[in-house]
Amino acid sequence: MISTFRPALVLFGALTLLCCGIYPAAVTGIAQAAFAAPANGSLITRQGVPVGSRLIGQSFSAPQFFWGRPSATSPMPNNASASSGANQGPTNPALLAAVQGRIAALKAVDPDNRAPIPVDLVTTSASGLDPDISVAGAMYQAGRVARVRQLALADVLTLVKEHTEPQYFGFFGEARVNVLALNLALEAKTAHTR
């Protein structure tokens, strides 16, 4: 009986050491050496204080800020512990009502804007945590942000251009703008013009 249990216990101990000690330490070491920023949450700091992550959306609703994609997480938007999509199909009345409400909110805050509203400003992402918007989504909001902050539209558009990230590997996905990074740059610019 002991001859049967001994190899099993040795194998159990070896696999525990490998899977719970050596492998996690190796992966953590490689991640810290090669990908330190993403491995530590891609935090954005301001004056040495973390203000958010480049990987998780932030909620902005004041008109002087660029707004990100709507979030389907609960009990609050962009709740990283509740990442999920709305799982509503295109004919679902709840989705149609939510989109109409978002369209109304965008029009209410910028009634003179007659441009088509980009779809990413009124629909949630699959994770509910998307930190980026399309370049079209940023351009749609640029006039409102410039007007509310009393900045030249050209200056705001320059910030959008400076914070536009290209497609992944030059061909995958589409160009995008990180909302938190753009809003922080906008705050810095507004502070310098005061």
Q: Is the pLDDT of residue 4 over 70?
A: yes
pLDDT on residue 78: 83
Residues 13 and 73 grouped into a single domain: no
Q: Is the pLDDT of residue 87 over 80?
A: no
Domain total of the chain: 2
Which has the closest alpha carbon to 68: 1, 154, 8, 127? 127
Residues 22 and 69 grouped into a single domain: no
Residues 167 and 121 grouped into a single domain: yes
Q: Is the pLDDT of residue 193 over 70?
A: no
Long-range CB contacts (< 8 A, 24+ apart) of 113-117? 113/140, 113/143, 113/144, 115/140
Residues 33 and 57 grouped into a single domain: no
| DSSP-based three-state secondary structure for 6 | helix
Residues 161 and 118 grouped into a single domain: yes
Instruction: Answer positive or negative: Cα dihedral of 145, 146, 147, 151.
Output: positive
* pLDDT tens readout for residues 22-42: 999 999 999 999 988 888 888
Residues 53 and 142 grouped into a single domain: yes
Residues 19 and 79 grouped into a single domain: no
pLDDT on residue 107: 95
Residues 16 and 54 grouped into a single domain: no
What's this model's pTM, rounded to 2 decimal places?
0.81
Residues 33 and 105 grouped into a single domain: no
* pLDDT tens readout for residues 148-192: 999 999 999 999 999 999 988 888 889 999 999 999 999 988 876
pLDDT on residue 40: 87
pLDDT on residue 76: 82
Residues 27 and 89 grouped into a single domain: no
Across the strands, what pairs with 44?
Answer: 52
Residues 163 and 188 grouped into a single domain: yes
Q: Which band of pLDDT confidence, cut at 50, 70 and 90, is reported for residue 194?
A: low
Residues 166 and 87 grouped into a single domain: yes
Across the strands, what pairs with 50?
Answer: 45
pLDDT on residue 146: 96
* pLDDT tens readout for residues 29-77: 999 999 888 888 888 888 888 888 899 888 899 999 999 999 888 788 8
pLDDT on residue 176: 95
DSSP state of 118: P
Q: Is the pLDDT of residue 17 over 80?
A: yes
Pair of tokens at residue 155: 């200056």
* Domain region containing 15: 1-40
